Structure 1
Amino acid sequence: MTWNKNTKVMAGLLGALILLVVVYFGITAWNNKQQEKKDAKAEAEKIYVTDVAEVTEVTYDAGSGALSFAKEDDDWHYADNKDYPLDQSYVKTIADTFGKLEADRELTDGDSLADYGLEQPAYQVQLTGSDGTKSVVYIGNATGDYYYVTVDDTKKVYTVSASVVSDIQHTLEDMTKLDTFPTIGSGNLTKVEITENAKTTVYDVSNDDDTESIAAVAGGLGAVSLDTVAVYPDQELDLAKYGLDEAKRITEKVTYTSDDKEQTYTFYIGSEDGAGNRYLMVQDSDIVYTITTAVCSNVLNQGE
């Protein structure tokens, strides 16, 4: 094979390119190795005051009474009522944070526990692991952006980020998983059945005479937001007090399409609360909400 000048140049450039690629990957690998060493060193220097493998029970008291939760089949539930609609994210965060709680530093040659607010701690969190291991974190006074803590009966004092305290400053109501109201509008609402005093009124999209009524109801349904709670599941509920007992409530069943599938959704409208709202409950739910009377009028096609 005869090599001309251009061929030699191309071969040289190709060789240089290969060398650059080799150098690049070599430097990248070296940098990654160095970063791994830094990360390992940083992790080794961290101080963890707890190490509870797979937390399965959590009890915490933030000053307003103890709340207990247990985990079964990867799901958390409220210990006093397994059927309580619990937002999993709150308890999961507590378990993850306190199961392996990182401290900023350990105090040495410190004062007595009382001086840090740990003789009568403001907060405490008890954890139980899948192996039965229990650990209790006691949280005392704040110091800047940190809190003093001690664990079990070690009497060792640490400081932890104040952010961990915010994780346990939630009431059971805060952790309630609220019902969701479907996205319904004039484009996907197909049928409405409203029952009041044993009389049922039906609006159907297939009936041209119901076009305006369907549009009015759809506008109301699109404005419903289940975010204002009047009664939570753990509170005593007298349905008649809210006009939600079977004798007084208005039942509305809506049929709509979602993802090309026909769906139904049933809810109940109760009495007025005296502040421009009416009570609402979703079928099979124990939570009472309020929605404005204006939205309610459209939902029931009672607009002027």
Structure 2
Amino acid sequence: MKKKRGLLYGIAALAVLCVVYVGVGQYMNRAQELAKEEKEGEMVYLTDLSNVSSLSYDFDGQELSFSKKEGKWNYDGDDLFPVKQEEVDAIAFTVSKLEALRKLEGGDSLRAYGLDQPIRRITATAEDGTKSVILLGNATGDGDYYAALEGQDTPYLISSALYNETSTGLNDLMALEEFPAVSGADINTITVTKAGSSEFYVKKKLDGKDGTIEWYRDSADQPDNKLSDNSGLNVLADSLSSLKAKSCPNYKVQENELAGYGLDQPAAVVTYTYDKNGSEETFTLSIGSINSDSSCYYTRTENSSNINEIDKASIDKCLTVNKGIS
């Protein structure tokens, strides 16, 4: 009987502890929420824009202006310009609610902070038409910046985030063409055409041997076509899968401009097939002449309006690896 009574007391005590634990947890959560609300209430913001739909800023003597249409940022100077969406999104996020580290009330005039002749002017407009023009002045020794809203006399101190985000020229905001996201192991066939002559290689996966492959020249139907050493083709496949555009000197090339890049009659054309979502896809890259500083080849993917520059060393590796194929 005593044991039973002791057990009941223990259960009751445990229940009380659980209630206390839950209560303390709820109290702590509410306290944290209140502290957060209090902190947010103490923060000072220069702007309060909902859904920024247009942005402009001046950089290195050029004004860059962007508008958002159907959820996508466009460069106002040329609708065909491929904009790096994440870069402009970051600026829009910063200016939508620009936090001040400090509001400098009762201090010196704007001139004392370099705001009478700002180093940068950023204009942001929300979907509802609300517009804010942010002026950036001198930098502090800590790397922060003085800022003000155009038409107002109150200076603020802000972090360097907005200055850094708008320290990019148009070329830095260009989204480069992306090649297929594949590994060398995903590539099934490779064709290399140079000087009117083509070499074709096909990969065959051996049944019952997980991961074991063989490379063949021309066709996998003839045993004599099997390469004695897979390493050369494996290196070529890996090299092709790692190619990427370094820059884009022309994003709307016309047919009559191709000769200027050596792409009217390419020095080489490389094609490979790969598996994607259960189907076979094809990627073709034409390789033209070397650029002016001999660091890159001009290249073009099939039917693309972009002329891309790819590192010379990466292309050379693809075009010379056949010397090790046997």
Q: Same fold (TM over 0.5)?
A: yes
Q: Give yes or no for the alignment of 1:291 onto 2:288.
A: no
Deviation sequence 1:247-277 (CA, Å, 0-9, x none): 3353322111134431111211112346364
Query: What aligned pairs does 1:25-44 form with structure 2 within 5 A after superposition?
Result: 25-44=22-41
1:115 paired to 2:115? no
Matches within 5 A, 1:173-184: 173-184=171-182
Q: Bigger shift: 258-267 or 87-96?
A: 258-267
Query: What is aligned with 1:126?
Result: 123
Determine what percentage of the aligned residue pairs are the same residue.
30
The answer for the alignment partner of 1:251 in structure 2 is 269
Conservation of the 8 A alpha-carbon contact between 1:49 and 1:151 = yes
Normalised by the size of structure 2, how large is the TM-score?
0.82
Question: Secondary structure, in 3 states, of the residue corresponding to 2:185?
Answer: coil
The residue type paired with residue 262 of structure 1 is: E
Deviation at 1:157, TM superposition (A): 0.9
Q: CA deviation at 1:87?
A: 1.6
Q: What does residue 58 of structure 1 align with?
A: 55
For 1:264, the equivalent position in structure 2 comes to 282
Q: For residues 24 and 105 of structure 1, what CA distance do their matches in structure 2 show?
A: 40
Deviations 1:65-122 (A, max 9, x none): 1111111122212122223222211111111111111111111222222221111100
**The one of 240, 260, 272 aligned to 1:221:** 240
Partners of 1:186 and 1:167 in 2: CA distance: 36
Correspondence for 1:191: 189
| Partner residue in 2 for 1:92 | 89
Question: Which runs of 5 or more structure 2 residues have no equivalent in the other structure?
Answer: 205-218
Aligned-residue CA RMSD (Å):
2.6
Structure 1 residue ranges without an equivalent (≥5): none
- Secondary structure at the aligned position of 2:92 is classed as helix
Instruction: Say how many residue pairs are matched.
Output: 299
User: For residues 150 and 267 of structure 1, do their structure 2 counterparts lie closer, same or farther at Cα, with a shift above 3 Å needed?
Assistant: same
TM-score (norm 1): 0.87
Shift of 1:123: 0.6
Moved more, 184-193 or 204-213: 204-213
Runs of 4 or more off by more than 6 Å in structure 1?
234-237
Distance 1:112 1:62 in 2: 25
- The counterpart of 1:150, out of the listed 130, 148, 151, is 148
CA distance in 2, matches of 1:238, 1:30: 70
Distance in 2 between the 1:294 and 1:160 partners? 43
